[in-house]
Amino acid sequence: MKIKEMQLVSFRNYENETFTPSPGIHLISGENGRGKTNLLEGIGVSLSARSFRTTTIRDVIQHEKESAYVKTIIDLEGFDHTLEMSIRPGHRFLWRDNNKMKTIGEYKRGIGVVVFQPQDLNMVHSTPSLRRNFLDNAIRTIDGLYEENVKNYYHLISQRNFALKKHKREKNLFEVYDYQLAKIGSYILVERLKNIKKLNNWAKEAYGTISNQRDSFQMNYMSTLPISSDIKELEKMYHQLMRDNLYKDMEMGRTTIGPHLDDLRFQIDGKEAKSFASQGQIRSVVLSLKIAESLLIREALGSNPIVLFDDVFSELDPIRREKLLESFKGMQSFITMAEPIEKIFYKEQLEDIRPIKITEKGIEEYSF
Ligand SMILES: Nc1ncnc2c1ncn2[C@@H]1O[C@H](COP(=O)(O)OP(=O)(O)OP(=O)(O)O)[C@@H](O)[C@H]1O
Ligand SMILES: [Mg+2]
């Protein structure tokens, strides 16, 4: 998929900006506060109807304006589609090919976007939830059924946790919860294991490229349950474990096993990334994971997703920067940097790459 044209109206600091992207890599530079992240956000909003920056979409409406509007023409497998979105406080209106869309799902059908933001780097050191979110988000994008099941699973967990505190005597209630959780939890676990295997292979390869084969990356799924790829067997074991743990769970007031507690383990050259990785290595890990996510989407949708990477080059040495660019080959990608491009790359390195500069006048071609 490739964006052919886009327009941002009253969107953040963009009054009315049109932009005609190329099919390949864009390097976007500009001083702090010029609107680099806003441009990526604009592309992301127009492709997914959501902002990666804020959950209150009205924030994107330009100050003093009543509404924002974004329009994109995107080529999906050889066919052009027009996506339009108008954002007002409390409302968003979506059109695809001039037809009003009722749901975000209909609006973004067949479209994939992968975003890297500097705060994604926290994933390596944080509590397991950010690592689980990475995995869940990657699978969600390609599988609506997974999304549904994850939602149901968390709903059941919060109901069971409430019952563990308030309705300890109602044993039948736990029979129902535990049966359902074993079923949904097993499905989630099997899907995660299937996808983590693919993501690990791709991330390993991307990490090898970025580090110029200097060090190696490995990711493992750490489960609170015994692992089996036979779903029927897994459901049985899971259900039994839920029963065995019931009294302990009552004491703790929460459910102590299940995919809501699982984790991903990242290792570089066999050592825990959390404890031993350098800044540049951490960045390389997270970027490799994002590239792996792009490949997962490509496999599912049959074409490369649009890649939006914000502020990626800091902390990377010159070889890693160059190798990172190599990893984007074939993907329409928008990559921002605060430094002037010539400080980071020679002109000769930028063959097939479109340098862009955001100035007070808006989006301009970069001239060396
Ligand atoms: N709703 C809005 N209306 C108008 N301007 C806005 C709005 N939201 C943010 N801005 C402005 O956008 C600018 C920030 O843009 P952005 O975050 O894209 O900068 P950037 O180029 O990514 O900078 P940095 O290099 O520091 O990351 C700020 O000047 C901010 O005031
Ligand atoms: Mg920024």
Per-residue pLDDT tens digits for 199-214:
999 999 999 999 999 9
Residue 44 CA, ligand 2 centroid: distance in Å: 14
Does 33 share its domain with 81? yes
Which amino acid type is present at position 36?
Answer: K
**Residue whose CA is closest, atom 19 of ligand 1?**
33
**Residue whose CA is closest, atom 14 of ligand 1?**
33
Rounded CA separation 97/104 (Å): 14
Residue 342 lies inside a defined structural domain of this protein: yes
Residue 195 lies inside a defined structural domain of this protein: yes
Q: Which residues line ligand 1 (CB under 6 A)?
A: 12-13, 30, 32-38, 59, 61-63, 338
Considering every ligand atom, which ligand is closest to the CA of 28?
1
Q: Which atom of ligand 1 is nearest to the CA of 13?
A: 5
Does 146 share its domain with 264? yes
Does 104 share its domain with 154? no
Residue 92 CA, ligand 1 centroid: distance in Å: 22
Number of domains in the chain: 2
Does 170 share its domain with 238? yes
Rounded CA separation 97/72 (Å): 10
Q: Which atom of ligand 1 is nearest to the CA of 60?
A: 1
Residue 293 lies inside a defined structural domain of this protein: no
Does 148 share its domain with 86? no
Specify the 3-state DSSP secondary structure of 75: strand
Does 137 share its domain with 222? yes
Residue 292 lies inside a defined structural domain of this protein: no
Does 240 share its domain with 175? yes
Chunked into runs of 10 residues, the chain (368 residues) has average pLDDT values of: 98 97 96 97 97 95 98 96 96 97 95 96 96 96 94 97 89 93 96 97 96 96 91 95 95 96 97 96 97 96 96 92 91 94 88 94 90
Phi, psi of 34, rounded to the nearest 5 degrees:
-80, -25
Look up tokens 């009003």; give the residue: 100
Helices (H), 24-101: 36-48
Four-residue CA torsion sign, 245, 250, 251, 252: positive
Q: Which atom of ligand 1 is nearest to the CA of 311?
A: 27
The CA dihedral of 175, 180, 182, 184, to the nearest 10 degrees, is -170
**Residue whose CA is closest, atom 8 of ligand 1?**
12
Which amino acid type is present at position 279?
Answer: Q
Residue 300 lies inside a defined structural domain of this protein: no
Q: What is the pLDDT of residue 169?
A: 81
Does 223 share its domain with 148? yes
Does 108 share its domain with 132? no
For 142, the domain range is 128-274
pLDDT digits 0-9 by tens, 249-280: 999 999 999 999 999 999 999 999 999 999 99
Residue 333 lies inside a defined structural domain of this protein: yes
Residue 297 lies inside a defined structural domain of this protein: no
Give the CATH number of the domain where residue 351 resides: 3.40.50.300
Specify the 3-state DSSP secondary structure of 362: strand
Considering every ligand atom, which ligand is closest to the CA of 358?
1
Residue 33 CA, ligand 1 centroid: distance in Å: 5
Does 146 share its domain with 208? yes
Q: Which atom of ligand 1 is nearest to the CA of 40?
A: 18
Rounded CA separation 55/310 (Å): 18
Does 97 share its domain with 145? no
**Residue whose CA is closest, atom 25 of ligand 1?**
32
Q: Which atom of ligand 1 is nearest to the CA of 30?
A: 21
Q: Are strands 113-116 and 99-101 parallel, antiparallel or unpaired?
A: unpaired
Q: Which of 197, 334, 293 is nearest to 285 (CA)?
A: 293
Considering every ligand atom, which ligand is closest to the CA of 117?
2
Give the CATH number of the domain where residue 167 resides: 1.20.1050.90
Residue 247 CA, ligand 1 centroid: distance in Å: 52
**Residue whose CA is closest, atom 12 of ligand 1?**
13
Domain boundary among 233, 252, 274: 274
**Residue whose CA is closest, atom 13 of ligand 1?**
33
In this structure, which residues have their CB less than 5 angstroms from ion ligand 2?
36-37
Residue 295 CA, ligand 2 centroid: distance in Å: 25
Does 151 share its domain with 214? yes
Q: What is the pLDDT of residue 6?
A: 97
Residue 121 lies inside a defined structural domain of this protein: no
Q: Which atom of ligand 1 is nearest to the CA of 61?
A: 1
